[in-house]
């Protein structure tokens, strides 16, 4: 891809947009940045742009899109933007940051997508490869934009480096040549309904991870998920299934408490689930998916077991922050959809004080009713979606309101008792009150660290739907 001297429009100056901008500038492109936010709102991010660019802020202008030789789209920006649709009609190339990165990377890609478990599985695969002496870089939606990996040194062997990449549906929408040697689709449940009015559109976006695969590549699919299982007959790549619930003739599965594999005519025992450090059935599925990657890359069962015994998870995903007066505090800020919150509720056995809320993505919170009634003693709501969640769950659980994360943590302290757990698992996006889910989780942890003694620990639960 030729970019030197080209007029390139970067749409959205968030983390990936900033990384793409600095990469393009370093390679001689003329960059224009457009964002609906103002210069004042973007002041800190703009300070990190390494060379002069043209800014078109506070809204989008069609002329910026039509004057571009190429457009690089940040994942948070919808492809249905009128200016983008007009540019597409004019045959102006529109790429995601990961597509741009792919054009310059040397190495093989292990891509991970799904509605839930992407971050944990991506991090676990990276750890598995490192322990197995396979050099790798972990990047993508997990934190570090893939474009930042382009400048890393490589050897002359074109497959000397492996990139383990977490991929959202947003990032996959505008890929073209991006190819995964191993592509994982963990599960598909309703999510981002504010962006995908039709569930089928969301599924189509996820399926794009297999777009450029050939018979030399591998697809890893969840045999327990009907949506992912349907996909296997469409694919050109070799399919390896994983299952928590059934024994597979070809794949990775659990049998009598042991992770086993049937593959290439061989039967292997890979690990004991008793020694896995991660909690919950959803994390067992993540381990199975990672085991499938290890199997394909020749990681030994001993290395797999040692990795699974020591891997405690990732920040903001069921992260144990600490204890206060025998009450455990868990940060699950990465739970940005209802199914993810459901998985967190299933993973913990304590009586729960649950902090939820944020920017709604079009989900149905009533799906949480069975778990709420059995596990949650108090639901503390924050953010824009508070009224919506309260209206859907008020007959199921005691509800309190908080104006800030600090207030929510203080409330949870006041109404908790020995043996309880406080769980931040919002079930919503973070952008109404925070920069991103990481920022939300950090504020939660800071509020926990500042907890002090309280005078009255005999408070009854608040009234339902309390404001």
Tell whether 249 and 343 lie within a shared domain.
Answer: no
Domain edge (last residue) among 92, 117, 146: 92
Strands (E), 285-343: 319-324, 327-331
**Rounded to whole angstroms, how far apart are CA atoms 47 and 267?**
56
* ∠ Cα 112 221 179 (to 5°): 45
CATH number at residue 68: 3.40.50.720
Tell whether 176 and 112 lie within a shared domain.
Answer: yes
Tell whether 123 and 257 lie within a shared domain.
Answer: yes
Per-residue pLDDT, 184? 98
Name beta bridge partners: 239. Answer: 219
User: Is residue 72 within 8 Å of 145, Cβ to Cβ?
Assistant: no
Tell whether 368 and 396 lie within a shared domain.
Answer: yes
Tell whether 363 and 422 lie within a shared domain.
Answer: yes
Tell whether 280 and 402 lie within a shared domain.
Answer: no
Instruction: Provide φ and ψ at 229, rounded to 5°.
Output: -65, -35
45 in any annotated domain: yes
Per-residue pLDDT, 103? 94
CATH number at residue 204: 3.40.1190.10
68 in any annotated domain: yes
109 in any annotated domain: yes
Per-residue pLDDT, 329? 95
Per-residue pLDDT, 153? 52
Per-residue pLDDT, 152? 57
Domain containing 258 equals 101-310
Domain edge (last residue) among 29, 64, 92: 92
Per-residue pLDDT, 454? 59
CATH number at residue 382: 3.90.190.20
Per-residue pLDDT, 339? 86
Tell whether 18 and 120 lie within a shared domain.
Answer: no
Strands (E), 246-370: 251-255, 258-263, 266-272, 319-324, 327-331, 352-356
Tell whether 127 and 208 lie within a shared domain.
Answer: yes
87 in any annotated domain: yes
Per-residue pLDDT, 361? 83
Name beta bridge partners: 254. Answer: 259
Residue carrying the six token digits 């928590």: 244
Domain edge (last residue) among 92, 109, 124: 92
Tell whether 252 and 116 lie within a shared domain.
Answer: yes
Per-residue pLDDT, 192? 65
Number of domains the chain contains: 3
Token code pair at residue 333: 């800020």
Tell whether 217 and 296 lie within a shared domain.
Answer: yes
pTM of the model: 0.79
Tell whether 245 and 334 lie within a shared domain.
Answer: no
Mean pLDDT in each 10-residue stretch from start to end of the chain (467 residues)? 95 93 96 95 93 95 97 90 95 95 93 92 95 92 86 49 92 93 92 73 92 96 93 93 94 95 90 88 94 95 94 86 92 91 89 95 89 94 95 93 96 94 95 92 95 60 45
164 membership: H or E segment, kind and range:
strand 162-166
Strands (E), 264-397: 266-272, 319-324, 327-331, 352-356, 376-381
464 in any annotated domain: no
Per-residue pLDDT, 369? 94
Tell whether 65 and 172 lie within a shared domain.
Answer: no
Per-residue pLDDT, 463? 43
């Amino acid at each position: 891809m030729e970019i030197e001297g080209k007029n390139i429009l970067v749409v959205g100056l968030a983390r990936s947009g900033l990384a793409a901008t600095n990469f393009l500038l370093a390679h001689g492109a003329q960059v224009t940045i457009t964002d609906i936010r103002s210069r004042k709102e973007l002041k800190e991010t703009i300070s990190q742009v390494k060379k002069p660019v043209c800014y078109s802020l506070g809204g989008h202008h069609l002329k910026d899109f039509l004057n571009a030789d190429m457009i690089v789209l940040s994942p948070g920006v919808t492809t249905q933007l009128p200016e983008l649709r007009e540019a597409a009609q004019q045959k102006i190339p529109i790429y995601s940051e990961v597509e741009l990165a792919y054009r310059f990377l040397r190495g093989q890609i292990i891509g991970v997508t799904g509605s839930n478990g992407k971050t944990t599985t991506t991090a676990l695969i990276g750890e598995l490869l490192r322990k197995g002496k396979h050099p790798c870089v972990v990047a993508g939606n997990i934190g570090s934009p893939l474009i930042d990996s382009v400048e890393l040194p490589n050897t002359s062997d074109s497959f000397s480096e492996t990139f383990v990449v977490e991929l959202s549906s947003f990032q996959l929408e505008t890929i073209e040549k991006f190819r995964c040697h191993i592509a994982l689709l963990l599960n598909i449940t309703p999510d981002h309904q504010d962006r995908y009015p039709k569930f089928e559109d969301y599924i189509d976006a996820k399926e794009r991870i297999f777009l450029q695969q050939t018979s030399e590549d591998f697809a890893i699919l969840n045999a327990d998920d009907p949506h992912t299982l349907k996909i296997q007959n469409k694919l050109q790549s070799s399919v390896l299934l994983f299952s928590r619930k059934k024994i597979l003739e070809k794949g990775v599965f659990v049998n009598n408490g042991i992770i086993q594999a049937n593959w290439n005519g061989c039967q292997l025992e890979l690990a004991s689930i008793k020694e896995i450090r991660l909690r919950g059935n959803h994390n067992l599925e993540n381990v199975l998916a990672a085991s499938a990657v290890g199997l394909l890359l020749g990681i030994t069962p001993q290395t797999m077991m040692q990795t699974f015994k020591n891997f405690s998870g990732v920040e903001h995903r069921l992260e144990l922050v600490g204890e206060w007066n025998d009450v455990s505090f868990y940060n699950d800020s990465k739970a940005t959809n209802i199914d993810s919150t459901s998985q967190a509720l299933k993973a913990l056995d304590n009586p729960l004080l649950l902090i939820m809320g944020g920017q709604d993505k079009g989900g149905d919170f009533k799906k949480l009713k069975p778990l709420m009634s059995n596990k949650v003693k108090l639901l503390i709501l924050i953010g824009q979606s508070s009224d919506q969640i309260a209206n859907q769950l008020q007959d199921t659980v005691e509800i309190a309101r908080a104006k800030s994360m600090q207030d929510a943590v203080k409330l949870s302290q006041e109404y908790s008792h020995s043996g309880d757990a406080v769980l931040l698992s919002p079930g919503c996006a973070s952008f109404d009150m925070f920069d991103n889910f990481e920022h939300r989780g950090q504020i939660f942890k800071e509020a926990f660290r500042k907890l002090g003694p309280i005078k009255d620990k005999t408070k009854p639960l608040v009234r339902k739907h309390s404001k």
